[in-house]
Structure 1
């Protein structure tokens, strides 16, 4: 179990800020990029603590299957979907994002996701 201290939250939020418009990233990838492999559930908890005034693009963070967040997040799935569609994100069905097209960092990115991570500290 990881310690979800202020450093954890800061590192997670720093990575969330890196996800560009028109892209999505998984909770697990954010956890890895932040230096906490296997902490995807904790990243989900961190996303639930974000206040709207922080202007973090939390709507871009999705589960590994590319499905929208539970209905209690972001004002509901319809709101999250609209935010993503406004950025050009395509869906393969009502709840599933076209991950092959919009996943960030791209799996074929030279050097892998570690080169795209925001420097910490």
Structure 2
């Protein structure tokens, strides 16, 4: 179970949390992006966006999980240490047809997934 760690503001992640997060990330279609916060919500852990970021950092290269499609709510790219750097992440997204605004942010209004409430959401008994 993801447990509240009130001193740090973070939650302890377990295997169930990771599997739920990874299942949601696997469902992001090509040409779309999803926010860390939305992935947390869809996985059944609202408010755990930082933990989703940490879960993304644990994914091994070559896993096939489209972690490059997970972005922050402003549509900015991951820090330079992720995905081989921001230019590499941008190139992956552009290859899939994701558009960017003049300021370099992803056009979230056009590419955000899920588009409708409930699209792609997995049902979990909490």
**Quick check: TM above 0.5?**
yes
Would you say how many aligned residue pairs link Structure 1 and Structure 2? 116
Gaps spanning 5+ residues in structure 1: where?
none
Give 1:93's match in structure 2, choosing from 93, 102, 105.
Answer: 102
Offset at 1:94?
5.1
Whether contact under 8 Å (1:18, 1:118) holds in the other structure is no
Q: Structure 1, residues 22-75: CA drift from partner, whole Å, max 9, x if none?
A: 000000000000000000000000000000232100000000000000000000
The residue aligned with 2:59 is 50
TM (norm. structure 1) is: 0.90
Offset at 1:93?
2.8
More helix by proportion, 1 or 2? Answer: 1
Secondary structure of 1:52's partner? coil
Whether contact under 8 Å (2:34, 2:70) holds in the other structure is yes
Counterpart Cα distance in 1 of 2:83 and 2:124: 27
The residue aligned with 2:8 is none
The residue aligned with 1:30 is 39
Runs of 4+ in 1 over 4 A off after TM superposition: none
Report which of the two structures shows the higher radius of gyration computed on alpha carbons.
2
Counterpart Cα distance in 2 of 1:62 and 1:5: 22
Gaps spanning 5+ residues in structure 2: where?
5-10
More strand by proportion, 1 or 2? Answer: 2
After superposition, where does 1:1-121 map in structure 2 within 5 Å? 1=4, 2-93=11-102, 95-106=104-115, 109=116, 112=117, 114-119=118-123
RMSD: 1.5
Q: Structure 1, residues 69-105: CA drift from partner, whole Å, max 9, x if none?
A: 0000000000000000000000003530000000001
